[in-house]
Amino acid sequence: MRGVALGSGMAHLNLAHLRTFLAVVRTGGVRKAAVSLNLTQPAVTARIRNLEDTLQGTLFDRDAGGMTLTRRGERLLLYAEKFERLQEMIEKDVIDPKGLERHLRIGVSETIAQCWLPDLIARLHRKFPKLQIEFNVDISLDLRERLLGREIDLAILLGPISEYTVDNIDLPGFDLAWYVAAEAPIEEDPATYLNRPVLTYSRNTRPYRELRELLFEHVGPDVSIFPSSSLSACFRLVEADLGIAALPRALGAEYVAAGRIRQFDPGWVPPPLRFTASWVAEPRSHVVEFAARAAREVAQEYRANLGDK
């Protein structure tokens, strides 16, 4: 639903202006609101000015510290949220999903991108053919910040996110396994491989921290750890016999089957990667909620298919 006139006496008050008003309130300023709405800052400012002109009153006090609601703005907030909820109910219960035009921004961890992200996008397009999907791949720490900043609508990351504003759906995890180059010498004790450089996830991630603690416990503080932001690079470096790595078994299986690397068991393995589909609960969006549930279904099917192989 686009810029709809609301009543004969308010011919110029439209939902686009109200959504912009709500975005400024929720994000705390024009710049962040522009990012959350995928608009330019001048466009956001113009919408707020137009809304104030229509209502013939100031909605925000503007100073060096930012923007705060006036008393008139606080009164409008109550009604704007009601209009927003009504629009969401109409889109969910009245509009045919095949005709719904929306923009969905998804942020995913690399593991997800390499495993079942294409299946998720295909499922979303079957449900909402006109849905414009934008996705980006990043580490979970940055995805969390982008979600809380309303720069993305749905984050599929190492979770959950412990914020009262965020809802989380648990997804099936990814088991890890140890890998070494196929051409590496066979060791009588596989734990000997742990004396080699260890390739792993980026430094600012939970898998890196957990692996480092386990390596210090099992090998000692002198172990060499080389973090990387690319899973593909880790697999290639292992294949080149430049180190070992504990990486998702779902991704390593293809390399093992091709004879490029092989799996080994030093007697322990880091805990599985636990992912969630996370989104900011307010304002409610049945499209985002459907996408989160679809992510769980696709992830469950992907894991089941792995078990069949």
Residue 1 has pLDDT above 50, yes or no: no
Amino acid at 261: I
pLDDT in tens, 107-135: 999 999 999 999 999 999 999 999 999 99
Q: Are 258 and 145 in contact (CB under 8 A)?
A: no
Give the HSE-up count for residue 20: Cα atoms under 13 Å, Cβ half-sphere: 27
The mean pLDDT value for 237-263 works out to 96
- pLDDT classification of 309: cutoffs 50, 70, 90: low
With CA atoms as reference, report the closest residue to 116 among 235, 281, 270, 275: 275
pLDDT of residue 306: 82
Domains annotated on the chain, with CATH: 8-93 (1.10.10.10), 97-172+274-308 (3.40.190.10), 176-264 (3.40.190.10)
Cα distance between residue 281 and residue 288, in whole Å: 9
State the helix-helix crossing angle for 231-239 and 249-257, rounded to 10 degrees.
40
CA-CA distance, 244 to 266, in Å (whole number)?
12
Which residue, among 168, 156, 161, 176, has the nearest Cα to 112 in the 3D structure? 156
Confidence band for 99, pLDDT divided at 50, 70 and 90: confident
Taking only the tens place, the pLDDT of each residue in 148-157 is: 999 999 999 9
| Strands annotated E in 129-239 | 132-137, 154-158, 166-170, 176-181, 198-200, 225-227
Residues 6+ apart with CB under 8 A from 250: 115, 174, 175, 302, 306
Instruction: Report the alpha-carbon distance of residue 84 to residue 89 in Å, rounded.
Output: 9
Give kind and range of the element (H or E) at residue 275. Answer: strand 275-280
CB 291 within 8 A of CB 154: yes
Of 247, 252, 160, give the one whose Cα is nearest residue 211: 247
Nearest-10 crossing angle of helices 249-257, 286-308: 40
Say what angle helices 71-93 and 15-27 make with each other, to 10 degrees.
120
Task: Assess contact for 261 and 182: CB atoms under 8 A.
Answer: yes
DSSP string across 67-127 = EEE-HHHHHHHHHHHHHHHHHHHHHHHTS-GGG---EEEEEE-HHHHHHTHHHHHHHHHHH
Query: Are the CB atoms for 277 and 212 separated by under 8 Å?
Result: no
Average pLDDT over residues 65-81: 88
- The answer to whether residue 5 scores a pLDDT higher than 50 is no
Residue 2, pLDDT > 50, answer no
In this prediction, residue 308 carries a pLDDT of 54
Predicted confidence at residue 295, as pLDDT, reads 98
d(CA 233, CA 225): 15
